[in-house]
Amino acid sequence: MFGIEFLIAFVAFVLGLSEPEPPPGWYCPCFTESEVRSEIEKYPWDVSIMMDIAYEESAIGSRYYNAAISPTNDRCVLQINNIHGYDTVRLRTDLRYCVRAGYEVWQQQGYRAWTTYEG
């Protein structure tokens, strides 16, 4: 299921020996700040708060990921987890789908759905 490179990187990360770059295919595509903002601005929530959440959750523009080590399979710039039932592949690769999912989560739970929200 996982290649040896992934397992070595995973063990090093868990042991705190490094923050390895994930193997190809295990990270979200890099979306720019303007791409993320453009999608977030389509919904009637506080854009500033949601951009802050996206920065804290996924370091917009980086190669950040945590799906391989997260028991909830958090995905995309808003780190939507599998408890919500969204397609995890689409979350990882489709920014529009990700932000729409985030909006639906926000409608149900508000900003506190994200642990990085400090409001």
pLDDT in the model for residue 47 = 98
User: Per-domain residue ranges for the chain?
Assistant: 26-113
Mean pLDDT of the residues in the chain = 78
Return the percentage of the chain with pLDDT > 70, whole number.
65
For every residue of the chain, which 3-state class applies, written as one string? CCCHHHHHHHHHHHCCCCCCCCCCCCCCCCCCHHHHHHHHCCCCCCHHHHHHHHHHHHCCCCCCCCCCCCCCCCECCCCECHHHCCCHHHHHHCHHHHHHHHHHHHHHHCHHHCCCCCC
> How does pLDDT run across 52-88, given as a tens digit for each residue?
999 888 877 554 444 445 666 777 889 898 889 998 8
